[in-house]
Amino acid sequence: MVLCLSASFSIAGCGVSAPERLEFTSMGDTPRTLPTDLGVGTYALELANTSFVLSNLSQEQLQDSTDLVGYVLHVDLMWVPKAGKTAIDPTATNTSIRLVVFAGTEVGLYGGGGFAWPTGESGAPEYGVDIVGSNVSLLAATPKFVDLLSPAQLTGRLRCRLDDAQTRQMRRATSQLVSNALKRVQWVGPHSRELRDQLSSGSIDLLRCSIRGAVVERD
């Protein structure tokens, strides 16, 4: 795998606060981290959720290149917890997470669920979430992709600027690259009605929230 993963000596756990740095940390015998705070992020207001996209690749690179080194992170905030009213349960989740890692001609797709607190006001020029706990694993990959993360946690502060059009364009471009690389169309599971009901109650287990597909645009 071409993308650099640095060694880490600590593993972030579930809690009520998030570290400043947004990163994936593996929970295996040899912990590694993938920082994702170095990139450009946008968000879009959807009918039933808020969609965040963060990447160190531009839309033009995603549309025009087949030999990329970088990542695209897609986080959906499904429901908003209320301070003082929403219990902090390590098994609760209100976000779905997808990470696409591009390593030259190889592609890896990670997915899972997590718990996050919104920061700021939805619809403001800048908005984000503090991700305080998650469970993410590799869902699909090209034959020579080397998985250095699974299982992993995503924690940290995600801040994005409001741009509905750019967010959807980045999702579409990423979806097309993933579908081309895996040679099959994949769908995002957490938008089914049954899972959405479980998410809204906050009772679904993180492991059961693992996504069974990729980042295919639903428009």
Q: How many domains does the chain contain in total?
A: 1
Is residue 219 situated within a structural domain?
Answer: no
Is residue 110 situated within a structural domain?
Answer: yes
* pLDDT tens column, 102-127: 999 899 999 999 999 999 899 999 99
Is residue 217 situated within a structural domain?
Answer: no
Is residue 216 situated within a structural domain?
Answer: no
Q: Is the pLDDT of residue 196 over 80?
A: no
127: domain range?
6-209
Is residue 16 situated within a structural domain?
Answer: yes
Is residue 215 situated within a structural domain?
Answer: no
- Asked if 92 and 205 touch (Cβ cutoff 8 Å), the reply is no
Is residue 1 situated within a structural domain?
Answer: no
- The CB density around residue 124, as the number of other CB atoms within 10 Å, is 11
* pLDDT tens column, 11-39: 233 335 556 789 999 987 778 888 887 78
Is residue 168 situated within a structural domain?
Answer: yes
